Chains A and B, each alone.
Chain A
Amino acid sequence: MKLLYTLSDAEQSVFDSSKSGDDSERIMYCLPYNYEDGQVVKGKLIITNLFMYKISEGSLVRKFDFKEMTDFLVESMLGISAFMAKINGHLERVCYFMPGRYLAQYTVIAKGCKRISDAIAKDQDPGDPVENKELDNFCEKCGAPLIRGSKICPHCRKKGGSIKRLWALTKGMRLILMFPVFASGISFILSFILPSIQQRAIDGYMNNPDVTSAALGGFIAIAVSLIVIDLFQRSMSVLQTRLTSVSGTRFIFLLRSVVFEKIQNLSTASIQQKSTGDLMSRLNNDIFTVQSFMTAQIPDIVNQILSFTLATVILLVVKPELCLFVFLPIIPVCLIARRFWAKIAKFSRINWIKSYSVSCFEQDVIQGERIVKCYGREKTAVKDFKKYVDIRTKYWTHSSQYSTTVSSILGFLFMLGSFIILYYGNILVFHGNISLGELYKYTAYTSIIYAPLRSFLALPSSLATAFTSINKITEILDEEPEISDINLPIDIRVEGDISIKNITFGYNSYNPVIENFSLEIHQGEMIGIVGASGSGKTTLINLIMRLYDVNEGAIEIDDVNVKDISQHTLRSSMGIVLQETHLFHGSVRDNICYAKPYATEEEIIEAAKLANAHDFICSLPQGYNTIIGERGFSLSGGERQRIAIARAMIHNPKIIILDEATAALDTETEKMIQDSLNQLMKGRTTIAIAHRLSTLRNATKLAVLDDGHLAEFGTHSELLKKKGIYYKLVMAQRLHAVK
Chain B
Amino acid sequence: MSDEKKINVSAEENEEALVDALFAKRISYDLTPDNSRFFLSEGGLISMELSVPDKEKEFFERVIIIRSFPISNPTGFLSVRAPDSRGSEKGEEIGIIHDINDFPEETVKIISEELDKRYFIPEITKVHSIRDKYGFSYWDCDTSSGRRTFIVSNPYSNIRLLDDGRLLVEDMDGSNFCIPEKKKLDNSSQRKIEAFY
Contacts and interface: CB of A to CB of B under 8 A. Distances in A.
Contacts of B145: 35, 38-40
Contact of A91 (B41, B135, B156, B175): B41
A78 B156 contact: no
B179 to A, nearest CB: 14
A297 B94 CA distance: 64
Contact of B43 (A35, A90, A144, A731): A90
Contacts of B135: 147, 154, 468
Contact of A40 (B86, B119, B146): B146
Which of A96, A100, A147, A728 has the most chain B CB within a 10 Å cutoff?
A100
Contacts of B146: 39-40
Interface in B154-173: 156, 170-173
Given A84-B87, A93-B117, A731-B15, A101 B174 contact: yes
Interface string A80-119: 1110101110111100101111010000000000000000
B82 interface: no
B91 interface: no
Given A38-B116, A77-B120, A145-B153, A91 B45 contact: yes
A732 B22 contact: yes
B184 interface: no
Contacts of A81: 174
Contacts of A92: 43-45
B107 interface: no
A684 to B, nearest CB: 35
B59 interface: no
A356 B122 CA distance: 30
A735 B120 contact: no
B18 interface: yes
Chain A interface size, under 10 / 10 to 19 / 20 to 34 / 35 or more: 35 or more
Contact of B176 (A73, A79, A93): A79
Contacts of A147: 134-135
- Chain B interface extent, by class: 35 or more
A155 B136 CA distance: 11
Contacts of A71: 87
Give the one of A39, A71, A727 with max B CB within 10 A: A39
A78 B178 CA distance: 13
Q: Is the interface of A mostly helix, strand, loop or mixed?
A: mixed
Nearest to B168: A79
A65 B139 CA distance: 39
Q: Of A76, A80, A98, A353, which is in contact with the most chain B CB atoms at under 10 Å from its CB? A: A80
B86 A73 contact: yes
Given A73-B86, A79-B121, A100-B171, A353 B23 contact: no
Contact of B174 (A100, A144, A468): A100
B33 interface: no
A148 B154 CA distance: 10
Contacts of A100: 171-175
Given A35-B145, A77-B120, A79-B175, A346 B87 contact: no
A734 B144 CA distance: 58
A90 B42 contact: yes
Contact of B87 (A73, A98, A137, A148): A73
Interface string A10-53: 00000000000000000000000001001110000000000000
Interface in A699-730: 727-728
A37 to B, nearest CB: 9
A356 to B, nearest CB: 8
A498 to B, nearest CB: 30
A731 B134 contact: no
A467 interface: yes
Interface in B39-86: 41-45, 61-62, 70, 86
A585 interface: no
A349 B136 CA distance: 14
A40 B146 CA distance: 6
A728 B22 contact: yes
B19 to A, nearest CB: 5
A83 to B, nearest CB: 12
B118 interface: yes
Contacts of B175: 79-80, 98-100
When A and B form their complex, which 8 residue pairs have the shortest distance between CB atoms, in order from nearest?
A100-B174, A92-B43, A79-B176, A99-B174, A80-B120, A90-B43, A98-B173, A154-B134
21 contacts: A71-B87, A76-B88, A78-B70, A78-B121, A79-B174, A80-B175, A82-B117, A93-B45, A99-B175, A101-B173, A137-B172, A145-B172, A147-B134, A147-B135, A148-B153, A154-B134, A350-B194, A350-B195, A353-B195, A467-B134, A732-B23
Given A91-B61, A147-B134, 11 more contacts: A40-B148, A77-B117, A78-B120, A79-B119, A79-B121, A92-B43, A99-B174, A144-B151, A353-B195, A731-B18, A732-B22
